[in-house]
A and B are shown apart, each in its own frame.
Chain A
């Protein structure tokens, strides 16, 4: 039973355009969400996070939006660059309970074409 779902296995975007990666979750108790980026043969790298008390967090070209009522979050990358091509994982944490355990989605492979 997947508690964090990334329903799009892949996404292809033109350089300079916006990339939107989506993530849904089923456990309403999750209260902290993270996005990780993973290049081939490397470990995941932390990208950006958001607390459930917020609906938006921005860091440079990266913005994460959280819609708690819909149990949905999205990562926006604008403008997209070829170096952004990687697998993006959405992850969630229960801060009050098992605050040490990241629950990951299956990932979305983003390809940014020059």
Chain B
């Protein structure tokens, strides 16, 4: 497709369960970002990839969060042992280069931990 695609759109997980969220960026986009948007808040930065290299993971809230982009295209955000506070919309964005002045966002994955 032409845009950033995320799957699944919705995910309900039981507390303690592991989840994996997928992002397909726009083809050819070098930079990929993950953001977390809690209810009533703006998106907050989690991590950044340039091609396959994870250049910044300072926004990941705990070591239960892990992201990868092994071939510099598709990325997966994994959350281990989910907690209720992990409930949020997880947004993926990609941009053509490292100058993130026009990032394109996917529709997001809404994660609900029960």
What is the interface of chain A, defined by CB distance below 8 A to chain B?
Answer: 4, 6, 32, 34, 36, 41-46, 49, 89, 91, 93, 95, 98-107
What A residues does B31 contact at CB under 8 A?
100
The CA of A15 and the CA of B102, in the complex, are separated in Å by 29
Asked if residues B106 and A106 are in contact (CB atoms below 8 Å), the reply is no
Set B44, B48, B104, B108: member contacting A100, Cβ < 8 A: B48
Set B40, B45, B56, B98: member contacting A102, Cβ < 8 A: B45
Does B43 belong to the interface (CB within 8 Å)?
yes
With both chains docked as a complex, state the minimum distance between the C-beta of A92 and any C-beta of chain B, in angstroms: 11
How many contacts A-B (CB < 8 Å)?
66
What A residues does B59 contact at CB under 8 A?
101
Count chain B CB atoms within 10 A of each CB in A4, A44, A45 and give the residue with the most. A44
Output the nearest chain A residue to B95 by Cβ-Cβ distance.
A100
Asked if residues A44 and B99 are in contact (CB atoms below 8 Å), the reply is no
With both chains docked as a complex, state the minimum distance between the C-beta of A13 and any C-beta of chain B, in angstroms: 21
What is the interface of chain B, defined by CB distance below 8 A to chain A?
Answer: 4, 31, 33, 35, 40-45, 48, 50, 55-56, 59, 91, 93, 98-108
Asked if residues B101 and A100 are in contact (CB atoms below 8 Å), the reply is no
The CA of A95 and the CA of B107, in the complex, are separated in Å by 26
Asked if residues B107 and A102 are in contact (CB atoms below 8 Å), the reply is no
The CA of A54 and the CA of B102, in the complex, are separated in Å by 18
What A residues does B106 contact at CB under 8 A?
43
Asked if residues B108 and A43 are in contact (CB atoms below 8 Å), the reply is yes
The CA of A47 and the CA of B20, in the complex, are separated in Å by 30
What B residues does A107 contact at CB under 8 A?
42
Asked if residues B100 and A105 are in contact (CB atoms below 8 Å), the reply is no
Set A45, A89, A98: member contacting B43, Cβ < 8 A: A89
Output the nearest chain B residue to A42 by Cβ-Cβ distance.
B107
The CA of A29 and the CA of B59, in the complex, are separated in Å by 20
Output the nearest chain B residue to A91 by Cβ-Cβ distance.
B42
Set A41, A46, A91, A99: member contacting B99, Cβ < 8 A: A99
Asked if residues B101 and A49 are in contact (CB atoms below 8 Å), the reply is yes
The CA of A104 and the CA of B46, in the complex, are separated in Å by 13
Asked if residues A105 and B101 are in contact (CB atoms below 8 Å), the reply is no
